């Protein structure tokens, strides 16, 4: 073999480099066959194919300096300084010899061996996260000639890295992603070791095979050539971990030969995937412009260089935010909003959720008008007769679920083809928004009465995109996409991204929130979008779904409690929270008082046991139940609410410890004469305070867009009665499940459809109003409450929403102008939501957004005066004057100019400014008040704008 300056061995092949410059030569020796090629390294247009043991000309290549992009199943060697890089796949990476910095950016899914021949004696190189490592034969790791440690696995030093790689003797790194394949060749047997990191735990799977097993999308797919033949077919083995991505494209870049966007997307995808059949999961047309697909990191990098590519987002998981309420927000059948709006007749509410139970009496179509002529939806039940004039559409979206869980497709596909609701959430939400009237509805006699949705004559279209096995953004935005095309007027979302999936911990930027992006497309088409704000309260900065074009809803109480009553033989009684669903005789039982200690091995059959417990409540109840006791009176310091009692299947009276002395003095008396009775299933109306924000309801500001006050509005969300699949247990246990056609649920999931129903009522009366006009009418007529960061403009009220007098109207372009002005908002967001170049859409950036609320930050670095401009549109009488009134905002200097607005005609627009100045640091973290405009004639209209001044700073 020719004497060389540098020597590299790959598999059975020795590759030698000799000479310099134009005289440089390469000798390849594979099993006795030698080939010498002059000027290979300087020309960079040849490759060595291990399978044919020969050099060939590249069929696809483009040189960038010393770097070469090549087609798959080919190997390139390029000399950079005194480093030689051998690469597989579509991209070739090089090193700078002085700094070890990559010569190209975004080194993801690196599949390279980087060799310095002087250092490489007795070592094998690995290049990860911009650091060059050397694996020595004894298993130790060397970085920059420094031994780090001896280990079987090493996580790279980069703080944001998720990469693991092999560091055991004889193990060869194949991929550098979250899933790593290490191949160990021993004689003629190949053992592969899959290294997976799951929740910061490393799992090793080992398997001995004559052939190497290919990993594809995390699953075993096929076998390839044995490794002991010298890295033959290396790319076939290097099937890196895949993920599902949502790809945003610029439709204006579509080449003319393509007749439609889908064929262009398909061709683009095919050009970056060469070792498997490319498949588009969804092609989006209305919600976003782009598609979703399963890609490796390497394929994603290729895609970024394709014409029309804008950006990507990962297919992030989404979670759900899980009778009397119509009356509570001011609706009645004799006068006002319901009869004026004809109960929402003719409007269509699209519910994106877990499906629907079409057989529920809440979805009968008595009194509902004909299906609108504009409707383009479909009924995807096995029988179209399950749809009617109430439920006019039902579709299924499961491709994202299958892409992220491939095993489901083959084992349970039949369960994923029907819009039937097997969870219950979607049925409950749909009936809140637009369920028809159902008499004698109740949850085991609690909340008994006539159940009704907010818009009982509106049409419902259900889009099933949420599943027990998971909810994915790709399915949700596909549902939004279809809902827009079908012709819905309102979209209701009781779900959203989870902070648990926020790797950086600083919230999701709007550009990375596909639901926010899709919602913007919806409002561009005139569709009102309402979404739940999340159940992560009571903490500030916990709110989600806070994009300014979405109506974000918090949840509160509705002045109703579910109770039981404990009455002792001396006629002293106590009420307690309870939703115990079972039958219990309302008769006197003998009482046994147990002061402390265990009750095990005692016989207390048919007795009421009185005891104290603050710590192990569940354990104590289990002990007492085992004695045969009829029920328990538990004195406790814990503050329990009705929903806390649902999990206890044993009848229990939870009594506050403030009544301890009264109860103990009677219950510890003569045991033979002490009696008591328990009564359940009591519903008490009119409890105070109400409405009141739920502790669980997420608070603003919204991390991704703090310039806008969020949430927008509060709506009923605590223990809301609504329809439920009768085959899905509402309570009980596995041995004795309890079923009901109605259920009581709590969450902002329940609040959002209330507002969706109100929007449908407004849309019925004002079909030409924009989504922003509808939002303004709801916000400016709300019942104002404390702390807008929890309740927004206040609690929704329908008394004046159809005739608000003035509105704050905003066009989609107004949102874009505001985003263009905000330095914190990325170009990526603007490109995604506008599908246009920055220069085309940002011609008129504006520091003002005509929003029906105001938030001002007074922090150490933002302590100067704050000025806000707003514009009001007269939707009331032609000639009318309004005067301003300021409430609250203690400690602030507030100046509103002008102080009077005189409108001479309908639809006229007049503007005003609000100047806020804090002469000193705010006395509290949150100071709030109102700027209200009141008509001067009869004071029939009060148009309120919530104002917040805060020193809150988002934690980094």
pLDDT at 114 over 90: no
4-8, 325-329, 668-672: range with lowest mean pLDDT: 4-8
Give the end-to-end CA distance of the chain in Å, rounded to a whole number.
60
What residue spans of 373-504 are helical by DSSP H? Answer: 399-404, 406-411, 425-434, 473-486
Q: What are the distances in angstroms from CA 724 to CA 199, 359, 456, 518?
A: 35, 10, 17, 29
Average pLDDT score, the chain:
75
pLDDT at 219: 25
Position with higher pLDDT, 219 vs 170: 170
Nearest to 326 by CA among 426, 444, 463, 458: 458
Rg (CA), the chain: 34
pLDDT at 742 over 70: yes
Range 333-354 average pLDDT: 89
pLDDT at 276: 80
Token pair for residue 680? 């359940």
Q: What is the pLDDT of residues 375-425, one digit of tens each?
A: 999 999 999 899 999 999 999 999 999 999 887 866 666 678 899 999 999
Position with higher pLDDT, 778 vs 71: 778
323-337, 505-519, 685-699, 827-841: range with lowest mean pLDDT: 323-337
Q: What are the distances in angstroms from CA 921 to CA 86, 571, 779, 788, 926?
A: 62, 57, 29, 20, 12
Give the contacts of 162 (CB within 8 A, at least 6 positions apart).
177, 178, 197
Position with higher pLDDT, 165 vs 940: 940
Coil vs helix vs strand at 256: coil
Under the banding of pLDDT at 50, 70 and 90, the label for residue 541 is: very high
For the chain, the structural domain boundaries read 1-106, 242-314, 560-685, 849-956
CATH architecture classification, 242-314: 2-Layer Sandwich (3.30)
Under the banding of pLDDT at 50, 70 and 90, the label for residue 597 is: low
pLDDT at 414: 67
pLDDT at 222 over 50: no
Peptide bond before residue 728 is cis, with ω within 30 degrees of 0: no
Range 490-511 average pLDDT: 73
Distinct helix (H) and strand (E) counts, the chain: 19, 60
Identical fold between 242-314 and 849-956: no
Give the contacts of 18 (CB within 8 A, at least 6 positions apart).
2, 3, 4, 5, 24, 25, 26, 27
Position with higher pLDDT, 821 vs 619: 821
**In 10 A of CB 601, how many CB atoms?**
7
Give the contacts of 914 (CB within 8 A, at least 6 positions apart).
854, 867, 868, 870, 894, 895, 896, 931, 947
1-5, 109-113, 281-285, 824-828: range with lowest mean pLDDT: 109-113
Nearest to 12 by CA among 184, 192, 208, 229: 229
Q: What strands lie across the sheet with 13-18, from one edge to the other?
A: 6-10, 13-18, 25-30, 33-38
pLDDT at 158 over 90: no
Rounded CA-CA distance 517/519 in Å is 5
pLDDT at 238: 33
pLDDT at 214: 28
Highest mean pLDDT among 474-483, 838-847, 854-863: 474-483
pLDDT at 646: 65
pLDDT at 792 over 60: yes
Please write down the long-range contacts of 193-200, taking CB distance under 8 Å and 24 or more positions apart: 193/166, 195/153, 195/164, 195/166, 197/162, 197/164
Nearest to 554 by CA among 751, 325, 744: 751
φ/ψ region of 903 (left if φ > 0, alpha if ψ in -120 to 50, else beta) reads: beta
pLDDT at 223 over 60: no
205-214, 552-561, 848-857, 911-920: range with lowest mean pLDDT: 205-214
Q: What is the pLDDT of residues 7-37, one digit of tens each?
A: 444 334 444 444 444 333 444 443 433 333 3
Range 329-349 average pLDDT: 83
DSSP state of 720: E
Position with higher pLDDT, 655 vs 464: 464
Which fold is adopted by the domain 849-956?
Answer: Immunoglobulin-like (2.60.40)
Burial grade of 489 (CB within 10 A; 0-12, 13-18, 19 or more): buried
- The per-residue b/e assignment along 815-830, b for 16 or more CB within 10 angstroms, e otherwise, is bbbbbbbbeebbebbb
Q: What is the pLDDT of residues 406-418, one digit of tens each?
A: 878 666 666 788 9
Residues carrying an active site annotation: 353, 425, 749
CATH architecture classification, 560-685: 3-Layer(bba) Sandwich (3.50)
Coil vs helix vs strand at 313: strand
pLDDT at 6: 45
């Amino acid at each position: 073999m020719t004497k060389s300056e540098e020597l590299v061995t790959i598999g059975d092949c020795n590759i030698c480099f000799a000479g310099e410059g134009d005289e440089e030569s390469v000798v390849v020796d594979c099993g006795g066959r030698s080939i010498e090629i002059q000027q290979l390294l300087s020309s960079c247009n040849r490759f060595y194919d291990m399978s044919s043991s020969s050099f060939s000309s590249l069929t696809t290549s483009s040189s960038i300096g010393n770097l070469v992009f090549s087609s798959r199943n080919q190997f390139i060697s390029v000399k950079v300084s005194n480093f030689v890089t051998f690469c597989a796949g579509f991209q070739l990476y090089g090193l700078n010899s002085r700094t070890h910095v990559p010569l190209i950016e975004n080194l993801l899914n690196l599949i390279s061996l980087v060799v310095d021949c002087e250092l490489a004696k007795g070592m094998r190189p690995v290049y990860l996260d911009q650091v060059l490592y050397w694996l020595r034969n004894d298993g130790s790791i060397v970085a920059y000639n420094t031994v780090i440690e001896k280990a079987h696995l090493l996580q790279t030093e980069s703080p944001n890295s998720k990469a693991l790689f092999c560091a055991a003797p004889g193990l060869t790194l194949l991929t550098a992603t979250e899933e790593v394949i290490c191949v160990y060749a021993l004689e003629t047997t190949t053992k592969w070791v899959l290294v997976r990191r799951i929740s910061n735990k490393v799992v090793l799977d080992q398997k001995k095979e004559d052939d190497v097993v290919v990993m594809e999308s995390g699953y075993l797919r096929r076998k390839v050539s044995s490794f002991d033949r010298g890295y033959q077919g290396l790319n076939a083995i290097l099937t890196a971990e895949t993920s599902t991505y949502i790809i945003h494209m610029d439709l204006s870049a579509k080449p003319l030969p393509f007749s439609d966007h889908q064929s262009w997307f398909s061709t683009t995808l095919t050009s970056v995937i060469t070792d498997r059949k490319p498949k588009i999961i969804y092609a989006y047309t209305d919600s976003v412009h782009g598609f979703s697909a399963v890609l490796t990191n390497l394929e994603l990098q290729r895609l970024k260089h394709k014409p029309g590519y804008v950006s990507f987002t990962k297919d992030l998981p989404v979670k759900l935010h899980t009778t009397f309420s119509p009356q509570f927000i001011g609706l009645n059948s004799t006068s006002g909003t319901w009869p004026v709006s004809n109960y929402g007749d003719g409007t269509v509410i699209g519910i994106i959720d877990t499906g629907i139970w079409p057989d529920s009496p809440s979805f009968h179509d008595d009194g509902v008008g004909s299906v609108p002529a504009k409707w383009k939806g479909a009924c995807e039940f096995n029988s179209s007769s399950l749809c009617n004039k109430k439920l006019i559409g039902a579709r299924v979206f499961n491709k994202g679920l299958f892409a992220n869980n491939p095993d489901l497709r083959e084992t349970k596909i039949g369960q994923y083809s029907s819009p039937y609701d097997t969870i219950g959430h979607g049925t409950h939400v749909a009936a809140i928004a637009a369920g028809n009237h159902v008499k004698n509805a109740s949850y085991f006699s609690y909340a008994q009465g006539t159940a009704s949705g907010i818009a009982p004559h509106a049409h419902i279209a259900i889009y099933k995109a949420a599943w027990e096995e998971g909810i994915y953004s790709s399915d949700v935005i596909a549902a939004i996409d279809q809902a827009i095309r079908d012709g819905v007027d309102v979209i209701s979302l009781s779900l959203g991204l989870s902070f648990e999936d926020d790797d950086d911990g600083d919230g999701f930027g709007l550009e990375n929130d596909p639901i926010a992006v899709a919602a913007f497309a919806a409002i561009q088409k005139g569709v009102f979008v309402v979404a739940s704000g999340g159940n992560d309260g009571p903490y500030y900065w916990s709110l989600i779904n806070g994009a300014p074009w979405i109506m974000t809803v918090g949840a509160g109480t509705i002045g109703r409690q579910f109770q039981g009553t404990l009455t002792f033989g001396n006629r002293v009684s106590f009420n307690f929270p309870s939703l115990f669903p079972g039958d219990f005789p309302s008769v006197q039982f003998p009482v046994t008082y147990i002061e402390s200690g265990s009750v095990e091995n005692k016989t207390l059959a048919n007795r009421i046991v009185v005891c104290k417990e603050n710590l192990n409540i569940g354990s104590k109840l289990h002990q007492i139940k085992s004695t045969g006791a009829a029920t328990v009176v538990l004195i406790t310091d814990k503050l329990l609410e009705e929903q806390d009692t649902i999990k206890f299947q044993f009848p229990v009276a939870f009594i506050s410890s403030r009544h301890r002395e009264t109860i103990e003095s009677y219950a510890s008396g003569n045991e033979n004469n002490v009696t008591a009775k328990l009564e359940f299933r009591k519903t008490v109306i009119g409890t105070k305070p109400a409405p009141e924000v739920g502790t669980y309801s997420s608070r603003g500001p919204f991390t991704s867009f703090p310039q806008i006050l969020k949430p927008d509005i509060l709506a009923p969300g605590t223990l809301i009665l609504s329809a439920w699949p009768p085959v899905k247990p509402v309570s009980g246990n596995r041995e004795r499940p309890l079923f009901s056609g109605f259920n009581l649920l709590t969450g902002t999931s329940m609040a959002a459809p209330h507002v969706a129903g109100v929007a449908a009522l407004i849309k019925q009366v004002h079909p030409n109003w924009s989504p922003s006009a509808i939002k303004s009418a709801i916000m400016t007529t709300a019942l104002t409450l404390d702390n807008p960061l929890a309740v927004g403009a206040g609690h929704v009220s329908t008394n004046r929403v159809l005739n608000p007098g003035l509105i704050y109207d905003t066009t989609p372009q107004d949102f874009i102008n505001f985003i263009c002005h905000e330095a914190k908002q990325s170009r990526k967001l603007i490109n995604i939501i506008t599908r246009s170049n920055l220069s085309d859409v940002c011609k008129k950036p504006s520091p003002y957004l005509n929003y029906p609320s105001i938030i001002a930050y007074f922090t150490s670095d933002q302590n100067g005066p704050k000025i806000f401009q707003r514009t009001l549109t007269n939707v009331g009488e032609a000639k009318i004057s309004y005067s301003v009134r300021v409430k609250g905002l203690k400690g602030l200097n507030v100046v509103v100019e002008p102080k009077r607005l005189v409108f001479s005609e309908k639809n006229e627009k007049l503007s005003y400014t609000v100047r806020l100045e804090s002469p000193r640091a705010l006395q509290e973290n949150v100071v709030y008040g109102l700027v209200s405009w009141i008509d001067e004639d009869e004071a029939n209209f009060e148009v309120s704008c919530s104002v917040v001044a805060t020193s809150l700073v988002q934690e980094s």
